[in-house]
Structure 1
Amino acid sequence: MISTRIRIALGLVLVLVFTASGIAPSFAAAIGSQLVNRELRSEKFAGNRIGTNPVRKMAVYLPAGYDESSKRYPVIYFLASPFDSYRTLFDQRNAQRLFDRAIEGRVIAPFILVSVDMTTPLGCSWYVNSPVTGNWEDFMIQELVPYIDANFKALPSRDSRGIVGHFMGGYGAIRFGMRHPDVFGSVYALHPVGTGSGVQIMDSRPNWDLLTDATSLDDVRKDGFSTIFTAIFQAHLPNPDKPPLFVDLPAHKVGDQLVIDSKLTERLRNNFLLETMIAQYADNLKSLRGFKFDWARNDTIEDHIYSNQAFTHKLNEFGIVHEAEEYNGTWGEPNWGEDGRVYTEVLPFFGRHLVFGDK
């Protein structure tokens, strides 16, 4: 019987032979990457009115050879849809292996990816500062990015820093790119929402009787659209002195008639919809190294298709260079796997636009 020591030695020899000959680089890479869990206690959520936890969790992907290398790496920040966990891409989508394969196949050079929990107790934070939900923009720009730069081998430059998001996370990616091109030099949004007006008006979506009569946040959770729009109002029409929802409602019902508050609606549109911000941040968007978004042609909510089509046209009106693609599929369906858009579109996009230093 071969001793354990001899078996280990033989195994190491085989690995070295295969790696040197190029026979099994995927095996070497697969065992080399890491997924690191971290927590960051934020100072930016003090005083929030809905119980936002100041301890934010994140998962950090580190490429094979990270510990042994003296190199620094570009960082991609990932904003998950709040319908998923910040860990869903790793726990259910096999993203770690997908990233390994992309690096092995030279789809993209080695990179770090950070997926962080950006949700409130009601769902999406909408990535803005709010006295009700907390200061999410400040958390990202003033705390999270500096933390990653200080604690990992990150290239601390906007040219080597990208941001990508899915659905509501896609909204956040574009918004951060608009307002902070000095921090994020490249932006990709997978099927973003909130880019502009839809086919239906926003106020047609919530259950206004439910919102008016709510005695707690749990009441609005009974209806999906009411939950989503209460989170939007908490971000963009916050009122910390109006419990239990802590918002100024932009509409109410009188009998069967929906009465819309024009001033609050104007304030909501100007603060929330990305297309209303294009003129103000046009120069910022023009300074990006890369900007792309996509959407599914067969999304069952037609508003998302309409608003993204209009968004790309308005960007063109302001001369903002970008890529926009309407693909044949449904929302969320084609993103993961080696045939998915993350592998075929997102990673090659960042491979072209990020600065990798010494490759």
Structure 2
Amino acid sequence: MKPFLLCLFVFISGGNLSAQNSIKGKVIIEKFVAPSLQGNHAGEDPMRRLTIYLPPGYEASKQRYPVIYFLHGGMEMGGDSIVMAWWRFHELMDAAIQNGRIKPMILVLPNSDAKLGSGFYTNSTLTGNWADYIAKDVVAYIDKRYRTIAGRHSRGLSGQSMGGHGALKIGMLYPDVFTAVYALSPGNLGWGGDFSLEMSAFKHMDSYRNQYSEAEIMGDLIKRNDFTKFYTKAMANLARAYSPDEAGKTFLSAKMPVSYSGDRMMVDEETKRKWEANFPINMIESHLAGLKSLTALKLDWGRNEEIKNVPIASLQFSKKLEANQVKHFAEEYIGGHVSHIGGFEGRIYTEMLPFFDTYLTVESKE
């Protein structure tokens, strides 16, 4: 089943998630200009939307709160407000707080949609600094405007799919900003399964380039809900994040690690090295001190995952953490890429929220 259809299924069949309490939190949508995305060469909009959940009693109290930052998936996986609605985050937060599953917390979903789908939460000389946008711009904006406990020990970072990828990457890059990281079904952590140099998306991109103008291809890839090009679009986004050509002299202003001459595959070793340097699995050794400074780290994935790379690379990631003596939790559960994540029996409610309740502090330790 394709990613969007899976998400639609979750939205329709998520069960009766009517809030189990009469005291509800509040959802606010704000917009702000992200300095880390200003002046990018790809024309990405630095005006960013934030979907924010404030816990019950926020407006009447003077209390300061821990914050969970949740990063959404890319391409057709949905943005901030869509993810809030799909998984009914506000109802899960309301119920978890009232039932004592978690202490009152603020939840922030930053919008990270890019023109072709996503920036993969990676700093790019072409599309902008998407890791800095989360760790610097969003955190600073929330701390300034809301009553947060403004310290790393009260900030958690999570995400699903591309957002899980981003949570692990940004957690490694900014351990001084976040103390606990939880990645759900993280995508593209490294090569494996249906994410490889031999994948058909690279050949499709080559044939695409030979038949159409760049403007036509950009327009086609920007279209949403065309799943025949899901992986092709993903490779285009990865190239613009990992191996950009901000001068715009190459196709899509980025270099691909693989090209074709007829049926003959040719690997660009320099570009391949750039991609692999950006894979979270290959960042572990160079960020060991930061990883070991985290209060807690967890990743999980579904046994019936539709994107074959996810369970393979997630297990490899966990084994590499273990080999480097990085304490963490890793778990396979019965589920797919988005199934068993939302709802009162899903991973967000049963695992992620209690995880942050355990590992985020309710008073400043800085």
Q: Note whether the superposition's TM-score is higher than 0.5.
A: yes
Please show how residues 48-59 of structure 1 align to structure 2 within 5 Å.
48-59=40-51
- Match of 2:285, SS state, is coil
**Correspondence for 2:336 among 330, 335, 338:** 330
Deviates more, 1:130-139 or 1:315-324: 130-139
**Correspondence for 1:301 among 299, 307, 312:** 307
Evaluate the alpha carbon distance shift between residue 256 and residue 26 of structure 1 in structure 2; reply closer, same or farther with a 3 A threshold. closer
| CA distance in structure 2 between the aligned counterparts of 1:353 and 1:44, rounded to whole angstroms | 29
Residue pair 1:42, 1:143 contacting (<8 A) in 2 also? yes
Aligned match of 1:12: none
| CA distance in structure 2 between the aligned counterparts of 1:236 and 1:190, rounded to whole angstroms | 22
- Match of 2:52, SS state, is strand
Residue pair 2:188, 2:195 contacting (<8 A) in 1 also? no
Evaluate the alpha carbon distance shift between residue 89 and residue 267 of structure 1 in structure 2; reply closer, same or farther with a 3 A threshold. closer
Report which of the two structures shows the higher radius of gyration computed on alpha carbons. Answer: 1
TM-score (norm 2): 0.86
Evaluate the alpha carbon distance shift between residue 201 and residue 292 of structure 1 in structure 2; reply closer, same or farther with a 3 A threshold. closer
| CA distance in structure 2 between the aligned counterparts of 1:146 and 1:100, rounded to whole angstroms | 25
Q: How many residues align?
A: 331
Give the root-mean-square deviation of aligned CA atoms. 1.8
**Correspondence for 1:265 among 266, 272, 289:** 272
Residue pair 1:47, 1:131 contacting (<8 A) in 2 also? no
1:349 aligns with 2:331: no
Residue pair 2:33, 2:47 contacting (<8 A) in 1 also? yes
TM-score (norm 1): 0.88
| CA distance in structure 1 between the aligned counterparts of 2:221 and 2:21, rounded to whole angstroms | 49
| CA distance in structure 2 between the aligned counterparts of 1:244 and 1:295, rounded to whole angstroms | 34
What 5-or-longer segments of structure 2 have no aligned partner? 1-18
Aligned match of 1:35: 27
Displacement of 1:288? 0.4
| CA distance in structure 1 between the aligned counterparts of 2:269 and 2:326, rounded to whole angstroms | 30
Letter matched to residue 79 of structure 2: S
Aligned match of 2:3: none
Evaluate the alpha carbon distance shift between residue 27 and residue 310 of structure 1 in structure 2; reply closer, same or farther with a 3 A threshold. closer
Displacement of 1:268? 1.1
**Paired-residue identity, %:** 33
| CA distance in structure 2 between the aligned counterparts of 1:264 and 1:137, rounded to whole angstroms | 21
Letter matched to residue 40 of structure 1: F
Please show how residues 124-139 of structure 1 align to structure 2 within 5 Å.
124-139=118-133
1:228 aligns with 2:234: yes
| CA distance in structure 1 between the aligned counterparts of 2:35 and 2:320, rounded to whole angstroms | 37
| CA distance in structure 2 between the aligned counterparts of 1:195 and 1:42, rounded to whole angstroms | 26
Deviation track 1:154-186 (CA, whole Å, cap 9, x = no partner) reads: 000100000110000000001111110100100
Evaluate the alpha carbon distance shift between residue 229 and residue 132 of structure 1 in structure 2; reply closer, same or farther with a 3 A threshold. same
1:255 aligns with 2:262: yes
Letter matched to residue 248 of structure 1: K
Aligned match of 1:209: 206
Evaluate the alpha carbon distance shift between residue 201 and residue 164 of structure 1 in structure 2; reply closer, same or farther with a 3 A threshold. closer
Displacement of 1:140? 1.9
**Correspondence for 2:105 among 101, 108, 111:** 111
**Correspondence for 1:68 among 60, 77, 81:** 60
Evaluate the alpha carbon distance shift between residue 155 and residue 204 of structure 1 in structure 2; reply closer, same or farther with a 3 A threshold. same
**Correspondence for 2:86 among 87, 92, 104:** 92
Deviation track 1:272-300 (CA, whole Å, cap 9, x = no partner) reads: x1111110011111110110010011113
Residue pair 1:74, 1:160 contacting (<8 A) in 2 also? yes
Letter matched to residue 297 of structure 2: F
Deviation track 1:119-159 (CA, whole Å, cap 9, x = no partner) reads: 11111111122121111122222221111001000000100
Letter matched to residue 322 of structure 1: H
Please show how residues 303-322 of structure 1 align to structure 2 within 5 Å.
303-322=309-328
| CA distance in structure 2 between the aligned counterparts of 1:120 and 1:211, rounded to whole angstroms | 21
Letter matched to residue 328 of structure 1: I
Displacement of 1:219? 4.2
Aligned match of 1:274: 280
| CA distance in structure 2 between the aligned counterparts of 1:157 and 1:96, rounded to whole angstroms | 24
| CA distance in structure 2 between the aligned counterparts of 1:199 and 1:235, rounded to whole angstroms | 21
1:154 aligns with 2:151: no
Aligned match of 1:9: none
Aligned match of 2:10: none
Letter matched to residue 65 of structure 1: G
- Match of 2:358, SS state, is helix
